[in-house]
Copies of this chain bind each other. A is one copy, B any other.
Amino acid sequence: MQRPARATIADVARVAGVSKATVSRFLNHRDRLLSDDIAARVEAAVAQLAYTPSPMAQALSHGRSRLIGLIVADITNPYSVAVLRGAEKACQDAGYLVMLFNLGNDIDREREAIDALAGYQVDGFILNTLGRGTGLIDAEALRGKPAVLVDRRHAGMHTDFVSLDNAAAMQLACGHLVEGGHRELLYVTEPQKGVSSRRERTAAFGACVQSQGPRVSGMVFECEADDAAGLDAALQGLHQRARRARRRAAVLAGNAVVTLRVAAAMARLGLQFGSDLGFVGFDDPEWAPLIGPGLSAIAQPTEAIGRSAATCLLERLKGLEGPARQLLLPGELVVRGSSAPAS
């Protein structure tokens, strides 16, 4: 009744009439130390039994699991999924498997996630988490395994880091809006808390407005998830202020979640993107072209970010030493109706 258990190295050895050690050598050091006839016999036996090494046993013995632990703050976030996709592909191509742990936005589970993954002897970590909360991830927790941070830096951790070039991207967005005649800018972001990417973008927004001199004015609104009224008021205020001053106004959204909230608020207020209020949002979700006249966006190279993160990690696994690296990838401005120049 029981399916024949998968062949082990011992089975192969028996069939080939050699020792386990020889089989192991054939598998791992195929190049050196091998007589032709024996190699052929082992190869035949492997093929005949459809033998595949047990990664678990290899991990136990050799210490390496060929597993990469990927921790995501919130799998619901399409950004995270896109990054995951890129990372997974790169890992698979390199013969690694990705173990995913989703925090479900419960920041206090970071430590739990690390421990669970470390238990399975993952060779390294890709982290897209907040780096805050009870179980702060420190170098200790990683048990010496290499890690790479994505999108969000962690206080006091100097590991490799991959992310969008937030400053340049913000400049792209602001420059485009100002060129299009927008003079009142409102940047809407999720509460910054300690999240590095949010802080960087907000700071970059300030710098951009500053650099435009007095002709452009900018404000920042931190938008709590449950504060629809506050967002409505902010947008309404922006719109009326601009009308009184006979200036064009525009909204910048810090990510796709905020874009969604802004779009909902615009609908509630009966305002039109493009004509009433200009708009550019970070992230370029698939539905962006379908809202109103189409939402202009800063598209992140998410796939490349994921791939780069994985590559960084794989290099470290190959023994690359040296100081922590920073990879800042450029965003791309996608212009649609919401930021059309003066009508």
**Chain A residues within CB distance 8 Å of chain B:** 2-3, 6, 52-57, 59-60, 65, 67, 75-76, 78, 81-82, 84-85, 88-89, 97-102, 104, 115-116, 118-121, 140, 143-144, 260, 263-264, 267, 285-287, 289-291
Contact = CB atoms under 8 A, between A and B. Distances in A.
Nearest to A97: B116
Contacts of A99: 97, 99-100
Contacts of A101: 97
Contacts of A84: 75, 102
A186 to B, nearest CB: 19
Contacts of A85: 75-76, 102, 104
A290 to B, nearest CB: 5
Nearest to A50: B115
Nearest to A65: B56
Nearest to A139: B3
20 contacts: A2-B144, A52-B115, A55-B119, A56-B59, A56-B65, A56-B119, A57-B60, A75-B85, A89-B104, A97-B101, A97-B116, A98-B100, A99-B99, A99-B100, A100-B100, A260-B290, A263-B290, A285-B287, A287-B287, A291-B291
